[in-house]
Chain A
Amino acid sequence: MPDNHLRSATISVLVENEAGVLARVIGLFSGRGYNIDSLTVAPVERDGSKSRITVVTQGTDMVIEQIKAQLDRLVPVYKVLDLTEGPHLSRELALIKVIGIGEKRQEALRLADAFRARVIDATTESFTFELTGATDKLDAFLDLMRPLGLAEVSRTGVAAIARGAKTIG
């Protein structure tokens, strides 16, 4: 009997870096009704010939198996790896603009320090922080900034890699 328990999966996909490849992957998710919680893509080979797509998705075990199989059969896909099957590292980067003056501004700066967020731009009425970390760390920081004048966020989405000597290749 199918298990209805939903789980989150972080899937890395190594693809030929050619026109339309991202549209193929996204079209597969929308066409088959799969969720995309986060998606990142960038070339990873020195000659720019391959890109790595990292997708964070949700589904039952059966659906996640389907997603992997569907991704794997796309012609320009080299490799599909479900990082959630083993120990792995996930990071994303956020640029966070906080606008405020006085005590709130001080508090924002103190919290940023505690989270090891870097100040990459400042004016007398604003800070822009750069913060790297796991998704839940970024979420926690943003929750704290909200009452302190959080004005704008730009996030990269998740990049992930397996721990240890294991590679996608």
Chain B
Amino acid sequence: MDGTIPATEQMNSGAEAVLRALKAQGVDVIFGYPGGAVLPIYDAIFQQTEIRHILVRHEQAAVHAAEGYARSTGKVGCVLVTSGPGATNAVTGLVDALMDSIPLVCLTGQVPTHLIGNDAFQEADTTGITRQATKHNYLVKKSADLVRVVHEAFHVARTGRPGPVVIDLPKDILINPAPYHEPTAKVHRSYRPRTEPDTAKIKEAVALLKRAKHPVVYAGGGIVNAGPEASRLLTEFVRLTGMPCTNTLMGLGTFPASDPQFLGMLGMHGTYEANLTMHGADVMLNIGARFDDRVTGRLNAFAPSSKKIHIDIDPANINKSVAVDIPIVADACNALKALIEAWNADPTPQDKDALAQWWAQIDIWRAKQSLRYTQSRDPGSIIKPQYAIEQLYKATRGRETYVTTEVGQHQMWAAQYFKFEKPNRWMTSGGLGTMGYGLPAAMGVQVAHPDALVIDIAGEASILMNIQEMSTLAQYRLPVKVFILNNHYMGMVRQWQELLHGSRYSNSYSEALPDFVKLADSFHGVGLRAETVDDLDRVIAEMIATDKPVIADICVDEKENVFPMIPSGAAHNQMLLGPEHDDAGQPAVTSAGKALV
């Protein structure tokens, strides 16, 4: 931020200047782990009370916790780690935040400037390593730049398409005195993301939507990032226009799941009605989603007869994988406001008859009940994972509930069977698919919302990837609930091996699992187990009632698969349905499809 030089005040140390800048940026909590290079900041943290520090047990968890904090509050998450291994451990979390557009500022310690490049103890080329893992990164080499860089980092993290920003801080910069100045309102020299839509394009989009016979609204995580007002406007727009609406995995909660116009999630494990509506659409309005390969299926068969309108804040998402007819670069909230205005101003009547016929068709697809499954209620019956999620959802309805997940089958079942009415309540690793995300993310959510019910829906394999954070939960009395759908397999790997690799279950069995009840106990929490359907509701109720960290080990059917499924390389109208359906077919997977991830 250039222009006039703001009034400065000399601080005793760079560390104090950094903390003061963090406070000015609204930081009230830092997730971190100390080490030699960041000791000056830890010393400054010790001498103040405004910023709370949550000591994690692994740096990756610090980043995921900050992601959970950011996603559930809409604020920028803040991380502090040391040099070398501290920074490299954080990299997975940074890429996760980059893929899912989560605003974070991660402070990394660095060896003193005179030792940089010397292979010093705990030295790593952090800016080099994180360059492709962040939206932007900085190495501060002069005390005079320190505070400007911190303020700028927050600006870059939260504006435009949000993302993680790393600030690498050599130890001498943290020790030496540094000038402090308040954030300025000056625009950045080169970074100026566009947020206002082109009104001519909005009018074109409305003209197309008014004439649509088979429209669909496809909304993603960009709506969450644009703030709760964007979700309200999306709901208003969809109701105003009477169109069907589907959400991506990242967008769940931006449109109320209970609304009759909601089709459920789309994509690889989306509902039959959502995918066929996309396939048959003549006009598609994509707001805040990026035509991810998990959504589109085979590109040359994706919504083949539709005109596409794409609203995205990131110009690089436009025409990246799917060519669109009307591209609009804007913040989702601004774009929705403009769309509603333009819709009301455009005198063209909507073709209500065509829309009614479209809904009649959609209702036929809905009647298929693609998420149907059968849960036996006979005593001693094995629990179906879908049923476990549905019962969990029912038991938590009406409460202030936040859900995080790990990655795999349980994640998809959570997305399919847990219903979200509001944004910022659902935190999952969508783009990177990071196993081990859910527990630390839940920790960050609980820190931000101490009185809310925070549940990590997990699998028995994923949970072990960051299980050490149970200790953090105990230390800070964070009553996170870990709800494990335990099927003794890396379920999604097993499912792909069954469907695509001749049921050769190579290395996907969860051998030598810990006793999760005892594990919870040893981490000062409460362990519960549901072995049969008779135990399920009791365990859920007890879990919710317990004011401590809980691990609920839910023993579920090992052989259950996630359906519907669009196999890689297939189109939206080539969905596999579950065994409940007469036309549940074997996958028509081509060798080209098999090579896809």
Contact = CB atoms under 8 A, between A and B. Distances in A.
B316 A27 contact: no
A147 interface: no
A64 to B, nearest CB: 11
B384 to A, nearest CB: 42
Nearest to A74: B136
Given A16-B189, A16-B190, A31-B132, A73 B316 contact: yes
Given A20-B131, A23-B128, A78-B190, A62 B315 contact: no
A77 B190 CA distance: 6
Interface residues of A, number: 22
Interface residues of B, number: 25
Nearest to A2: B323
A66 B132 contact: no
A140 interface: no
Given A16-B190, A19-B139, A78-B189, A73 B315 contact: yes
Interface in B110-137: 127-128, 131-132, 135-137
B543 to A, nearest CB: 43
B184 interface: no
A27 B137 CA distance: 14
A62 B319 contact: yes
Interface string B303-344: 000000000001110111001000000000000000000000
B570 interface: no
A66 B316 contact: yes
A73 B136 CA distance: 10
Interface of A: 1-2, 15-16, 19-20, 23-24, 27, 31, 62, 65-66, 69-70, 72-78
Given A72-B316, A73-B160, 15 more contacts: A16-B190, A19-B139, A19-B141, A20-B131, A23-B131, A24-B131, A62-B323, A66-B320, A69-B315, A73-B161, A73-B193, A73-B315, A75-B136, A75-B188, A75-B190
Interface of B: 127-128, 131-132, 135-137, 139, 141, 156, 160-161, 188-191, 193, 300, 314-316, 318-320, 323
25 contacts: A1-B300, A1-B323, A2-B323, A15-B190, A16-B189, A19-B139, A20-B127, A20-B137, A23-B128, A23-B131, A24-B131, A27-B131, A27-B132, A31-B132, A62-B319, A66-B319, A66-B320, A69-B315, A72-B315, A73-B316, A74-B136, A75-B135, A75-B190, A75-B191, A76-B190
